[in-house]
Structure 1
Amino acid sequence: MIKPSTYQPPYTITPEILNRVAAISFGLGRLTVLTDQARALRLRPSVAPAHPCARDIPDIRVHNRIRTIHGSLAIEGNTLSEAQITAILEGKRVIAPPREVQEVKNALAAYDRFDSWKPEAEKDLLEAHRILMSGLIDEAGLYRHGGVGVMAGQQVIHMAPPADRVPHLMADLFGWLATTDAHPLIASSVFHYEFEFIHPFADGNGRMGRLWQSLILARWNSLFANIPVESLIFEHQAEYYQAIQESTKKTDCAPFIAFMLRMILDTVTRSAPQVSPQVSPQVSELLAAIRGEMGREALQSALGLSDRKSFRERYLKPALAEGLIEMTIPDKPNSRLQKYRLTDKGRQWLAQQGDG
């Protein structure tokens, strides 16, 4: 039996935080309905083989995992694109700085173990760090032995506690996490902030803090295993560091909790099913025909169309305009290598049609 922890991280529950917890819970309810419906569709033998949305459920998970890894590593300065990360996942050779390729391989390996780790287990956190930082630092999987600071670009925004205090501080933090009755949305954000404040490792603290918050959330609601919160944090990187700095200045991590809940709410809202757009029969046919990434000729062939202009005006343009499909080379729309693929919105639309 775990004894209640005497350690209590300093944080205040504000009305803003409470409102965001409620809004996230509502958004998760909507996502759960969509996920359950799509799973039911996939399991129905008479429907699943014929309907592409059921086939695409694993694809969405993989896509979101790639977005998560891209966002978390990009915050740390990794320059590889989602396409390059996908190529590494598929075992293809990527021409890029070896360290950045190693970071991606490590992150993919870590997320493969994601389901086996327990948030309150310190040994699991050390193992996750060992995998994430393997071949990158000498102290992979070990708490740091020297001083370290939190950097935002070239600016030091926080000097972490001395190395000899790290084991005790981390034991306190895990003790608190194992016994707290705080809502998981709040507890995960508090853990994330306190982890960054302690900065227990020589390197990799940012990606570990984000990974562990995702793990805490995923144990509360399994949808968080596939919701790419990190990609949104990357889009608001300056605010991320500012929230850490403000919380440290106030000795109260409420600003960081509020920031993280806003990122989670925005991600859940983006992931939630939207009101179905008005889709023409032609666009509907196009969406149902797309398998992965396909070029114009392949799509026309799949649809049995020979008129290139009609295909472009009645099928392709409306689908692009509604955001149901996207180009693989958006900066070169007329490239001979151009292909098209479903967006999350397009997959959601297909899923909704299968449930009707």
Structure 2
Amino acid sequence: MSRQYQPPYSITSAVVNLIAEISEAVGRMTVLADQSRALRLRRINRIRTIHGSLAIEGNTLSEVQITAILAGKRVIGPPREVQEVKNALAAYDRFDSWRPEAEKDLLEVHRILMSGLVDEAGVYRRGGVGVMAGKDVIHMAPPAARVPILMGDLFNWLAATDAHPLIASSVFHYEFEFIHPFADGNGRMGRLWQNLILASWNPLFADIPVESLIFEHQAEYYQALRESTRQSDSAPFIAFMLRMLLDTVATSAPQVTPQVTPQVGELLTAMQGEMSREALQSSLGLRDRKSFRERYLKPALADGLIEMTILGKPNSRMQQYRLTDKGRQWLAQHGDG
């Protein structure tokens, strides 16, 4: 019977240790006292989450373009990719209202995420589908007729399990990808739902951009899925996801930010995506190139608040500069808007 369904997974010592490390890291994270700064940091991380999740699926729009779409600006790009971003922004805007154990909420989120992109938005697939890694088929999903039963079993398990949320969310994510219940959008849905399960355990996870780290480790992500399927045990995928979560929590924790000069602070505030030296200097209204380099640019680079886009060639005519994670963190806590 469906309520007796138990996904196959084992708990290794590595998984136990990762859970302990993540729990400790979460416990160390402090809530930002200034609510306006907290909202800015949440906005930055939400953009990174959406960029990472869609980039895994082949969307080429940058974080700068996603930020522009969020601000209601017109962005030049493939219409489908722009629509994907708008849909994701709309879905994550309602993130706090979704319930991880509610199957109807899953269907509603899919309807929003895939609106205007597929005919079967918000309904389970009616045909066969394979899980792709690039051009390779790494898994043939169960027949469409089985999907409602399998998803019902999975949601019943999620509602009843006493497994730690870090494990339960990873198991759900793997099982979801194994079932592959939708005609399209399964990857972004599985990752979103894991975040949702984790956020119900600790709201902190609503604002941690795990997606961006998974994007940087795509090959390992697909390998963990394949290995779990081969073993008929989601332990490899659980371990992979917990490593990603630990790394993301560690890098997302509010850091003791460096004391920066007013000039460097002005530079960070002026940064908009990737900018050339000339554009930065102009935006600050500065004429003296040497003064700009010595008082603004070099200190910001030395503190790791900005970085060059062309490493090793500081004098390249194509050289541009952009904020680092450390710079974005500083801006979230000290910027004006």
Q: Same fold (TM over 0.5)?
A: yes
Say whether 1:286 aligns with 2:263: yes
What amino acid sits opposite 1:130 in the alignment? R
Say whether 1:5 aligns with 2:3: yes
Percent same amino acid at aligned positions?
74
User: Which aligned pairs between 1:218-257 and structure 2 lie closer than 5 A?
Assistant: 218-257=199-238
Aligned residue pairs total 326
What amino acid sits opposite 2:10 in the alignment? T
Q: Alignment partner of 2:139: what SS?
A: strand
Post-superposition Cα deviations, 1:245-296, rounded to whole Å, max 9, x if no partner, equal 000000000000000001111111111244655x5xxx33235445353733
Q: Alignment partner of 1:93: what SS?
A: coil
Q: 1:24 aligns with which of 2, 22, 45?
A: 22
Quote the Cα distance in structure 1 between the aligned partners of 2:216 and 2:122: 29
Say whether 1:323 aligns with 2:301: no
Shift in CA distance, 349/80, structure 1 to aligned 2, threshold 3 Å: closer
Quote the Cα distance in structure 2 between the aligned partners of 1:99 and 1:330: 30
Q: Alignment partner of 1:156: what SS?
A: strand
Say whether 1:108 aligns with 2:118: no
Q: 1:14 aligns with which of 12, 15, 33?
A: 12
Moved more, 115-124 or 55-64: 55-64
Moved over 6 A (4+): 329-341, 350-353
What amino acid sits opposite 1:241 in the alignment? Y
Post-superposition Cα deviations, 1:114-164, rounded to whole Å, max 9, x if no partner, equal 110000000000000000001111110000111111011111110111111
Aligned partners of 1:292 and 1:342 also within 8 Å: no
Quote the Cα distance in structure 2 between the aligned partners of 1:101 and 1:347: 24
Say whether 1:140 aligns with 2:121: yes
Aligned partners of 1:193 and 1:244 also within 8 Å: yes
What amino acid sits opposite 2:261 in the alignment? S
Shift in CA distance, 257/318, structure 1 to aligned 2, threshold 3 Å: same
Task: Mark the runs of 5 or more structure 1 residues left unpaired by the alignment.
Answer: 44-54
Quote the Cα distance in structure 2 between the aligned partners of 1:244 and 1:156: 12
Equivalent position of 2:275 in the other structure = none
Quote the Cα distance in structure 1 between the aligned partners of 2:69 and 2:45: 15
**TM-score (ref. length: structure 2):** 0.87
Quote the Cα distance in structure 2 between the aligned partners of 1:347 and 1:69: 17
Task: Mark the runs of 5 or more structure 2 residues left unpaired by the alignment.
Answer: 273-279
Residue 75 of structure 1 deviates from its aligned partner by 0.8
Say whether 1:190 aligns with 2:167: no
Quote the Cα distance in structure 1 between the aligned partners of 2:135 and 2:328: 41
Quote the Cα distance in structure 2 between the aligned partners of 1:214 and 1:229: 8
What amino acid sits opposite 1:112 in the alignment? D
Quote the Cα distance in structure 1 between the aligned partners of 2:90 and 2:333: 33
What amino acid sits opposite 1:291 in the alignment? T
Quote the Cα distance in structure 1 between the aligned partners of 2:10 and 2:320: 50
Shift in CA distance, 350/65, structure 1 to aligned 2, threshold 3 Å: closer
Residue 201 of structure 1 deviates from its aligned partner by 0.5
Give the root-mean-square deviation of aligned CA atoms.
2.8
Quote the Cα distance in structure 2 between the aligned partners of 1:99 and 1:334: 38
User: Which aligned pairs between 1:294-313 and structure 2 lie closer than 5 A?
Assistant: 295-299=280-284, 308-313=289-294
Aligned partners of 2:10 and 2:234 also within 8 Å: yes
Quote the Cα distance in structure 2 between the aligned partners of 1:350 and 1:105: 25
What amino acid sits opposite 1:116 in the alignment? S
Shift in CA distance, 350/200, structure 1 to aligned 2, threshold 3 Å: closer
**TM-score (ref. length: structure 1):** 0.83
